[in-house]
């Protein structure tokens, strides 16, 4: 009797679990983020984006997003703790460091 109950529970769990995990994979989570361009960054490789990037970093959003572009940085940036930096397709983001054009 206990063995049949055990098999019934395992069978039920096998049926219910795939549907539930499928729902979890399809759910969407919205994460607030700060887009550096919303803070004035241009990303053209010519304009100094240091101040705009720093404003985005200290905006308390938790995540800072860099759209595709080349960001010129001429000043030291301070990244607060617990800030995540996300870039558009990672390999498409460039930062020019220094004041040379």
Examine residue 19 and state whether it is found in any structural domain, yes or no: no
**Residue with the larger pLDDT of the pair 55 and 94:** 55
pLDDT interval class at 19 (50, 70, 90):
very low
Examine residue 14 and state whether it is found in any structural domain, yes or no: no
Q: How many domains does the chain have?
A: 1
pLDDT tens-digit map of 80-89: 998 989 887 7
Examine residue 83 and state whether it is found in any structural domain, yes or no: yes
| 89, 40, 76, 56: CA torsion to nearest 10 | -70
Examine residue 43 and state whether it is found in any structural domain, yes or no: yes
pTM of the model: 0.64
pLDDT tens-digit map of 38-82: 999 999 999 999 999 999 999 988 999 999 999 999 999 999 998
Examine residue 48 and state whether it is found in any structural domain, yes or no: yes
Q: Could you list the residue range(s) of the whole structural domain that residue 41 is in?
A: 34-97
Flag whether pLDDT at 21 surpasses 50. Answer: no
Examine residue 86 and state whether it is found in any structural domain, yes or no: yes
Sequence-ordered alpha helix ranges (H) in 1-101: 2-26, 50-57
Examine residue 70 and state whether it is found in any structural domain, yes or no: yes
């Amino acid at each position: 009797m206990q063995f049949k109950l055990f098999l019934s529970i395992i069978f039920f769990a096998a049926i219910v679990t795939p549907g539930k995990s499928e729902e979890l994979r399809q759910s969407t989570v919205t994460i607030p983020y700060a887009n550096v361009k919303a803070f004035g960054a241009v990303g053209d490789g010519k304009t100094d984006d240091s101040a705009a990037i720093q404003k985005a970093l200290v905006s308390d959003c938790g995540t800072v997003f860099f759209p595709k572009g080349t960001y010129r940085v001429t000043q030291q940036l301070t990244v607060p703790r617990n800030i995540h930096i996300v870039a558009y397709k990672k390999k498409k983001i460039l930062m020019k460091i220094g004041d040379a054009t």
